[in-house]
Amino acid sequence: MARDTTDNRPIETVDDLVAYIAGGCKPKEAWRIGTEHEKFPFYVDGNRPVPFEGDRGIRALLEGMQRILGWNPILDDGRIIGLVEPTGQGAISLEPGGQFELSGAPLETIHQTCREGNAHLAQLREIAEPLGIRFLGLGGSPKWRLSETPRMPKSRYEIMTNYMPKVGSHGLDMMYRTCTIQVNLDFASETDMRRKMQVGMRLQPLATALFANSPFSDGAVNGFQSWRGEIWRDTDNRRAGLLPFVFSEMFGFRDYVEWALDVPMYFVIREGHYHDCTHVTFRQFMDGALRGTVPDGTPTMGDWTNHLSTLFPDVRMKRYLEMRGADGGPWRRICALPAFWVGLLYDAAALDAVEDLTRGWSFEEVEALRDAVPVEGLSASFRNHHLRETAREVLAISHMGLANRGRRNREGFDETGFLSPLDEVVARGTTSAQEMVAAYHTRWGGSIEPVFLEHAY
């Protein structure tokens, strides 16, 4: 989740908000890849969740990472709740239930992304193992009930925790019991943004199926391949899910801004204090709704930046695009997710091909697929065949795009090898979730405890 920011520049008009997002446009040579991944910390002794406080808690993990990295602490009410690289190139943050997140630096290649992930996990092990802590690469918390899950001392999370049960049935599960891998990608222009946003929206259900990795909850099989995908179907539908207007041929920056203006806010920050603003939309804020209610009730660009970070559509727009449909997973998936989307969206021929493939997909078709995938995975029916067949076509395009990019490592290998985990899923026709359920019913002897061995970092 994004770091909350302070930027006191006043907002004059809606045009300022559109211009802020449009300011993210970059020439192709400046496009970068920002990969984020979350994982569940647990104590090896008893596979128990890790609280924030204590000599072996998450605060101790953060302090240890600060010592070896030299990054600057992120504080909330005097407590360390994250770290940021001194020049802003990467950060470590906490999700509400203690999920440990690396927000990676903007990098040029998937090779660099994998080296970054390797270094992060090695550094984390150096600090965590003496504390008896390891990390689980799944999309959903497999064992601990919501009541057993720790709560991190972040002010925005307290506001969200109070608000979520009012607007959906799964908001607290989303906050406290899910993990994701996502990639942040650039655009060159409004037209380029539109093309990438539309392809991304149409293909998020496929990404959910390919990365389905959350078949357990509360210590048992839950009937889903992506429980995380099911959770997002009813978290807060005013700010999450598919956005119908994105499917329009005329979709642009202003459409996203106008939608965002009418989504309820979570908070504003004044002098380090978070003020609950869930009763107003950002448009109402701009119309003066918070004057006299919070100190300096005039909206700033920092307020807008923070508001954008509280919107949860399947593809989120800031000054870049965030692909948000995948479950968390093992190390290889951390590399596969950015490879999948970079192959599709960062090569002109590949973007043309995937746009041609998906152009006719309607909002209603994609929404129906999004509803089916959490249970059915690649077996979901789409346009008179199984989604697995579509996955073959899309992966072939991603392979082409990565090959066309021609970004090779020192050994001469291009980026296509990072798609291997997804090639394997499609070749065998079963997701990681299905493989785990099969193990649960056979060699795991009806216990989920082995998941803490086989799927730990």
What's residue 7's pLDDT? 85
Beta-carbon contacts of 194 under 8 Å, excluding residues fewer than 6 positions away, are 251, 252
Sequence ranges of the domains in the chain: 14-454
Length of the chain: 457
Beta-carbon contacts of 356 under 8 Å, excluding residues fewer than 6 positions away, are none
| Residue pair 397/344 in contact by the 8 Å Cβ criterion | yes
What's residue 1's pLDDT? 46
The model's pTM: 0.97
Structure tokens at 262: 């009418």
What's residue 73's pLDDT? 96
User: pLDDT of 134-146, one tens digit each?
Assistant: 999 999 999 999 9
Paired sense of beta strands 100-103 and 312-313, if any: unpaired
User: pLDDT of 186-237, one tens digit each?
Assistant: 999 999 999 999 999 999 999 999 999 999 999 999 999 999 999 999 999 9
Q: Which CATH class is domain 14-454?
A: alpha beta
Structure tokens at 413: 């290998």
Q: How many CB atoms lie within 10 A of CB 171?
A: 21
User: pLDDT of 24-43, one tens digit each?
Assistant: 999 999 999 999 999 999 99
What's residue 4's pLDDT? 74
User: pLDDT of 380-403, one tens digit each?
Assistant: 999 999 999 999 999 999 999 999
Distance in angstroms (rounded) separating the CA atoms of residues 141 and 143: 6
Structure tokens at 151: 């709560």
Q: Which residues of the chain have pLDDT under 70?
A: 1-3
Sign of CA dihedral 288, 294, 299, 303: negative
Residue type, 9: R
Helix extents (H) in 151-189: 155-163, 171-177
Distance in angstroms (rounded) separating the CA atoms of residues 218 and 147: 11
What's residue 25's pLDDT? 98
Q: How many CB atoms lie within 10 A of CB 443?
A: 8
